[in-house]
Amino acid sequence: MKIALCQLNYHIGHFDQNIQRITDAIQKAKKAGANLAVFAELAVSGYPPRDFLDFDDFITRCETAVQHIASFATGIGVILGAPVFNKTGKGKRLFNAALFLNNGKVEAVSHKALLPNYDIFDEYRYFEPGREFATIDFMGERIALTVCEDLWNVGSKPLYTFSPMDELIKQSPTLMINIAASPFHSQQAEIRRKVLTENVDRYKIPLLYVNHVGAQTELLFDGGSVAIASDGSVAGEACYFEPDMLLTDTQQLRTPNHLFQPVPQNRIGNIHDALVMGIKNYFEKLGFTKAILGLSGGIDSAVVLALAARALGPENVLGVLLPSRFSSDHSVDDALELTANLGTQHAVVSIEDAFQAFEKTLSPHFKGLPFGLAEENLQARSRAVILMALSNKFGHILLNTSNKSEAAVGYGTLYGDMSGGLSVIGDVYKTDVFALAHYINKQGIIIPTNIITKPPSAELRPDQKDSDSLPDYEILDKILCHYIEEFKGPNDLIEMGFEKTLVERVLRMVNQNEYKRHQTPPILRISQKAFGMGRRMPIVARYLS
């Protein structure tokens, strides 16, 4: 049997577009001689639909879409994901389902049994777990059909009390098919490959895996759909970060394959490609085309400008230089050189007049108090007002340029440099921002060398440097990563060799600034624990603060 793994970019709730892409892929698979076309989890609705699932109208539209798609399942079988009503009268109102379409109708339905309810996932909020398991017979194959998490209860620390495949294997399946919506993070491809291979090793039958590709606001899906032969070798792999169709056949899946070489994983390269895709899809799916951002002459805004230019085209990106009395000449020169290298538009708007106006307005209230944090923040907020005015006037989306290190410790100004419609590098630690800059420059200087080598500075007071307020980023980022992504407590960090007062200071800054992070734009997720929907912390807590 010849099978097409159809890796598509879906748009949540855009039923007409999703149907068109699915039916086009079915037709393409047919022309390629495929007997079965396989699509991803919740392909009909897009993933994650979140509280749209509470609307009967949304589910009814999903059902109508499935019926239309089923009309194309003639001469070819189709597997795809959709939410379906739970008609048992017990439990949650919906199932997360994998549907088998054949002969123009729905012939079988498999319900997702393991519903992730951690990090970014919240599936038990909406779905009832499946509790009945049956294989699907098609063209001489007996298919064990599962949905994403159903194959993830492996390893030394399983999250669930059972594995659906342990039930399905009793029915002697000849092939596993798993449809998924597995979001990207920088280690996900390797983890996913290990999980899938462990399933093949355990059940001794081939596995076909189909993933989403594309961005849904902050969630990025890398694709990487794969066919794994019964001996655990990779028989074929779809592209990363773009739609693709992978053709395979069951004979190939039962023959040891030593010729195919999976795409080597480059962590920084993957982060780069994920962020470019994230920007591109965010704008496309919102119906915007143009971006604006503030250019400081520093590395954060330089990297964001380069990523945006690659995602949207340089002609659609406006970098605005907003110098103040404290801006250095080289910062302005570096920013101008960057825009010339990229071919992006630029403008120069001094904030001095606006800043002086604020100083004059507030002088009776500040009563001669010395220059301090209030005046520094006034400059950042003056810049934000100007950027948002240009955004409103010309229809741009403001890109936020704060990195994860700054967001973690609150080194940013609310309604100032923390403003924006999308946070591009808010899940990228400062040390990785430097690595991204080098990656962008790998085939020639795009980001000027001086931007990469000079000490980072907010330039809000004379001779200011980030190191005046923060530990060295090499040390800070390690502490932050251990705490935020690995859940290490203060004692763990001290035992790892970090200085006690530094640990206490950093953790206190992280927890005290939760209120700021609750007001930031959506952050493109590239780590296992990003700020935003996957990290839910109380604002008024006293823990370590």
Which tokens in the block code for residue 322? 């907003």
Chain centroid to CA 43: 17
Instruction: Choose the catalytic residue: 41, 141, 218, 337.
Output: 41
The answer to whether residue 488 is catalytic is no
Q: What is the pLDDT of residue 460?
A: 67
Please name which of 245, 171, 242, 183 lies closest in space to residue 208, comparing C-alpha atoms: 245
Q: Distance between CA 466 and CA 411 in Å, rounded?
A: 9
Look-up of token digits 């990290």? 535
Instruction: Choose the catalytic residue: 128, 148, 337, 488.
Output: 148
The answer to whether residue 41 is catalytic is yes
Q: What is the pLDDT of residue 285?
A: 98
Pairing verdict, β 397-400 and 345-348: unpaired
Q: What is the DSSP string of 147-163?
A: EGGGG---SSS-SSS--
pLDDT by residue, tens only, the chain of 545 residues: 999 999 999 999 999 999 999 999 999 999 999 999 999 999 999 999 999 999 999 999 999 999 999 999 999 999 999 999 999 999 999 999 999 999 999 999 999 999 999 999 999 999 999 999 999 999 999 999 999 999 999 988 899 999 999 999 999 999 999 999 999 999 999 999 999 999 999 999 999 999 999 999 999 999 999 999 999 999 999 999 999 999 999 998 987 765 677 778 899 999 999 999 999 999 999 999 999 999 999 999 999 999 999 999 999 999 999 998 877 667 899 999 999 999 999 999 999 999 999 999 999 999 889 999 999 999 999 999 999 999 999 999 999 999 999 999 999 999 999 999 999 999 999 999 999 999 999 999 999 999 999 887 766 667 667 777 789 999 999 999 999 999 999 999 999 999 999 999 999 999 999 999 999 999 999 999 999 999 999 999 989 88
Query: CB-based burial of residue 434 (10 Å sphere; 0-12 exposed, 13-18 middle, 19+ buried)?
Result: middle
The answer to whether residue 63 is catalytic is no
Q: What is the pLDDT of residue 530?
A: 97
Q: Distance between CA 90 and CA 326 in Å, rounded?
A: 65
The domains found in the chain, sorted by start residue, are 2-255 (3.60.110.10), 271-465 (3.40.50.620)
Q: Is the peptide bond before 48 cis (omega within 30 degrees of 0)?
A: yes
Q: Distance between CA 56 and CA 86 in Å, rounded?
A: 12
With the CA atoms of 418, 419, 425 and 428 taken in that order, what torsion angle do they form, in degrees rounded to the nearest 10? 20
Instruction: Choose the catalytic residue: 112, 285, 290, 516.
Output: 112
